[in-house]
Structure 1
Amino acid sequence: MNNIHIIVPELPESVVDGTIIAWHKKIGDMLRRDEIIVDIETDKVVLEIPASTDGILETILVKEGETVTSGQILGSLGCSDNNTIPAISSTQTKKNISLEKETVLQKVVNLQTIGPAMRRFMSENNLEARTIKEKDHDDNLTQKNITQDLFQTTKTQDQSTINQESPVSSLAPRNETRIPMSRLRVKIAERLLRVKNTTAMLTTFNEVNMQSVISIRNKHGALFEKRHGVRLGFMSFYVKAVVEALKRYPEVNACIDGLDIVYHNYFDISIAISTPRGLITPVLKNANTLSMSDIEKKIKELSIKGRTNKLTIEDLTGGTFTITNGGVFGSLMSTPLINPPQSAILGVHVIKDRPSALNGTVALLPMMYLALSYDHRLIDGRESVGCLATIKDLLEDPCLLLVNV
């Protein structure tokens, strides 16, 4: 029998340590090659440690909740020379099945011993043979043990009724549950607090008539899905409009580094995605080069990876501007927080039919509020309001994206 160490892999850049969040196996459990043994949570991603070979988990050196670093030994895996896992013998399997059958048979009441008188007595008391407690070791039902069981059942029901009517017992227990914050949640809290304390954040609002976008989706959505294998969503329109607006207002796509302003000549758009671990912002790299189908496919891929903890550091690194969609949760309006070190973030919201002015008349239109939060240290009102107005115009008339005006 050979022992193989279970070792923490090299952690991603800028990640110092991680936390053991789950051991999927216990000591003595058998493992197959590539089967996941343990999960390690870092500030950004969850790392899954697989078994390097078939074997048996022999030792666990680090418990759940403890902190680990790169190269640390977590436990050991025992494997035979031929890398095979011993199988359970068929004799033992048959023995277990026989014991289970014997246990079940012992719990069954012999209904054939019930005579006509006993059946009438049980019928009058609305009793079934299988509901009688197994007090008679000879499996014979007598009127005595049935009466005792009936008396005990009635007593239990009466006591239950008294408890339900008691005002004291009707009070629900005031319990509390305390669990530690995940590393991702701690990191999110630190970043959000730093944004509030280190930026001069303001938010400007506008509203957009989404009728044109909705009409395009209704008209071409089925053909789009048939050809590209993905649904035509709203986010691809948002990304296209944002990229064009950032081209016209490069300050919104820039960031502050010390006393310098860094202008990005590329457009990496972060998309806020809600996952069981918390809010994450994977990045659409070079969004200006992506078609609408590419955008939809990439967003779907990142969403699936986010929900299954498969996102990599590369998926989360970078980003020059962020889009967050609170509308999927029904948010009518919000003031989103900037995603540092970026300087601006766009919040899109739920689409609601509202009476609005249209060609001198009042019409019921699908309207949506837009919110652009920005760092006033870098972005002035002219750039922020102009950028948001450009996004509004491009969403109300998506044809402008085609003619590039």
Structure 2
Amino acid sequence: MAIEIKAPAFPESVADGEVAVWHKQEGEAVSRDELIVEIETDKVVMEVVAPEDGVLTSIHAQQGDTVLSEQLLATLEQGAAAASAPAAAPEAPAASGDDDAADEASALLGPAARQLVEEHKLDVGKITGTGKNRRITKEDVVNFMKAAQAAPAAAPVAPAQPEAEQVGPTGERIERRVPMTRMRAKIAERLLDATQQTAMLTTFNEVNMAPMMALRSKYKEQFEKTHNGTRLGFMGMFVKAACEALKRFPEVNASIDGNDVVYHGYQDIGVAVSTPGGLVVPVLRDADFMSIADVEAAVRDLGLRARDNKLTIEDITGGTFTVTNGGVFGSLMSTPILNPPQTGILGMHKIQERPMAVDGEVVILPMMYLALSYDHRLIDGKTAVQFLVAVKDLIEDPARILLQL
């Protein structure tokens, strides 16, 4: 029985998607729930799996094609058995050995690999396939090209030229042009919109991290044992501090919708996560009701799923405020960009020891710069500064978070 495999049903915020990579090719056997193809949208990469055991008989959307919600992608023959290898051509005479090898290798090319081979005019007979049944994948072609560039075929050594004739460097000046991924293009579009369509301003402060570091050092082992391996980090405390400050300054938790201001009576905190495909912002729903352990566990889970392209549209939609930590990459100070329609984003940075004046004496303290970028159309400078000072006070005296002081 033939089964139609269709693209996922995209939510209203996603118009279409792009076929990113086929993990199975025509004629290959697939098992139920086995990954067949990945669809890249503006926000996430969505996986399409096999609904039943069978053989992929035909592919209707090639890699790079734009597909709509529930569009036909492929046809699966349920229960059919795949051949152990692609259909072989009649055996050619032994005299055409090189041509046979090239033809055999060409038959093993996947669509993405074939496109690269034709584009760069490569000798397919020299490429070793590592896929199933010696199929040549896109990665095999890329690795072959890299190897060819790193170790070009040895040429006869020309006689040494006189020193006066050797002018300038002789190394290759390689350039590589690749199309921007759909997700990266959407990120670029949203960042540009944020800078052009909001009155964005950033205010800074610095926070003494010594009390927080002492608390973490004292309780981290007990915390991890009590909460089933969840580690005590700084993100949980900053999210909880942000929630408390948002309750005091609801403008920072609001959003602009046309000529209306929408005040949110809850705190859905987005946590910026860096992935190979770009920056994504999964959301902690009702973060004000989560414990610090809940926040730490959720942030870790979302980070792992973002890295593995396992996030869903629901994971990254919504959010009333965002926290981003550039300090994990060594950033000392930055101006984070708003994530519209949100009107505020808190930037954490690297902890660095600096000499500070305390009660008339110079003391070396672990300090962190904090940055709050905000939409000046809604939030006044006074409110922004007071919000950032509230976060600073909560972090420098963590007991305030527990006591809501």
Alignment of 1:125-140 (within 5 A): none
User: Aligned partners of 2:202, 2:306: CA distance in 1, in Å?
Assistant: 28
Q: Number of aligned residue pairs: give it.
A: 334
Partner AA of 1:326 in structure 2 = G
CA contact (8 A) 2:27 2:82 kept: no
Alignment of 1:16-95 (within 5 A): 16-79=15-78, 83=79, 85=81
Q: How far off its partner does 1:160 sit? A: 8.3
Q: How far off its partner does 1:6 sit? A: 1.9
Are 2:369 and 1:369 aligned?
A: yes
CA contact (8 A) 2:55 2:80 kept: no
CA contact (8 A) 2:28 2:82 kept: no
SS at match of 2:11: coil
Q: How far off its partner does 1:182 sit? A: 1.2
User: Aligned partners of 1:222, 1:231: CA distance in 2, in Å?
Assistant: 8
User: Aligned partners of 2:301, 2:18: CA distance in 1, in Å?
Assistant: 26
Q: How far off its partner does 1:7 sit? A: 1.4
Are 2:157 and 1:159 aligned?
A: yes
**Per-residue deviation, residues 94-125 of structure 1 (Å, max 9, x unmatched):** xxxxxxxxxxxxxxxxxxxxxxxxxxxxxxxx
Q: How far off its partner does 1:71 sit? A: 2.3
Structure number, greater radius of gyration: 1
SS at match of 1:159: coil
Partner AA of 2:77 in structure 1 = G
CA contact (8 A) 1:54 1:85 kept: no
User: Aligned partners of 1:356, 1:275: CA distance in 2, in Å?
Assistant: 36
User: Aligned partners of 2:160, 2:285: CA distance in 1, in Å?
Assistant: 66
Which runs of no fewer than 5 residues in structure 1 stay unpaired? 90-155
User: Aligned partners of 2:248, 2:295: CA distance in 1, in Å?
Assistant: 21
- Identical pairs, percent: 55
Q: How far off its partner does 1:169 sit? A: 10
Q: How far off its partner does 1:162 sit? A: 5.5
User: Aligned partners of 1:346, 1:86: CA distance in 2, in Å?
Assistant: 54
Q: How far off its partner does 1:84 sit? A: 5.8
Match of 1:382 in 2: 382
The 1:372/1:160 distance shift into structure 2, 3 A limit, reads farther
SS at match of 2:70: coil
Match of 1:11 in 2: 10
User: Aligned partners of 1:168, 1:292: CA distance in 2, in Å?
Assistant: 64
Q: How far off its partner does 1:158 sit? A: 7.9
Are 2:240 and 1:240 aligned?
A: yes
User: Aligned partners of 1:386, 1:369: CA distance in 2, in Å?
Assistant: 16
Match of 2:139 in 1: none
User: Aligned partners of 1:10, 1:191: CA distance in 2, in Å?
Assistant: 23
SS at match of 1:353: strand
SS at match of 1:13: coil
For normalisation by structure 2, the TM-score amounts to 0.79
Q: How far off its partner does 1:400 sit? A: 1.3
User: Aligned partners of 2:243, 2:53: CA distance in 1, in Å?
Assistant: 50
Alignment of 1:265-284 (within 5 A): 265-284=265-284
User: Aligned partners of 1:34, 1:249: CA distance in 2, in Å?
Assistant: 47
Q: How far off its partner does 1:86 sit? A: 5.8
User: Would you identify which runs of 4 or more consecutive aligned residues in structure 1 move more than 6 Å?
Assistant: none
- RMSD of aligned Cα (Å): 2.1
SS at match of 1:53: coil
Match of 2:343 in 1: 343
Are 2:174 and 1:178 aligned?
A: no
CA contact (8 A) 1:41 1:183 kept: yes
CA contact (8 A) 2:14 2:42 kept: yes
Match of 1:359 in 2: 359
User: Aligned partners of 1:373, 1:318: CA distance in 2, in Å?
Assistant: 18
User: Aligned partners of 1:157, 1:319: CA distance in 2, in Å?
Assistant: 60
User: Aligned partners of 2:216, 2:394: CA distance in 1, in Å?
Assistant: 15
Match of 1:216 in 2: 215
Partner AA of 1:220 in structure 2 = Y
The 1:77/1:380 distance shift into structure 2, 3 A limit, reads same
User: Aligned partners of 2:15, 2:187: CA distance in 1, in Å?
Assistant: 17
User: Aligned partners of 1:397, 1:293: CA distance in 2, in Å?
Assistant: 19
Partner AA of 2:41 in structure 1 = T
Partner AA of 2:280 in structure 1 = I
CA contact (8 A) 1:268 1:287 kept: yes
Q: How far off its partner does 1:178 sit? A: 1.2
Q: Judge which range, 57-66 or 298-307, deviates more.
A: 57-66
The 1:344/1:56 distance shift into structure 2, 3 A limit, reads same
Q: How far off its partner does 1:170 sit? A: 5.7
The 1:320/1:171 distance shift into structure 2, 3 A limit, reads same
For normalisation by structure 1, the TM-score amounts to 0.79
SS at match of 2:216: helix
Match of 1:94 in 2: none
Partner AA of 2:246 in structure 1 = L
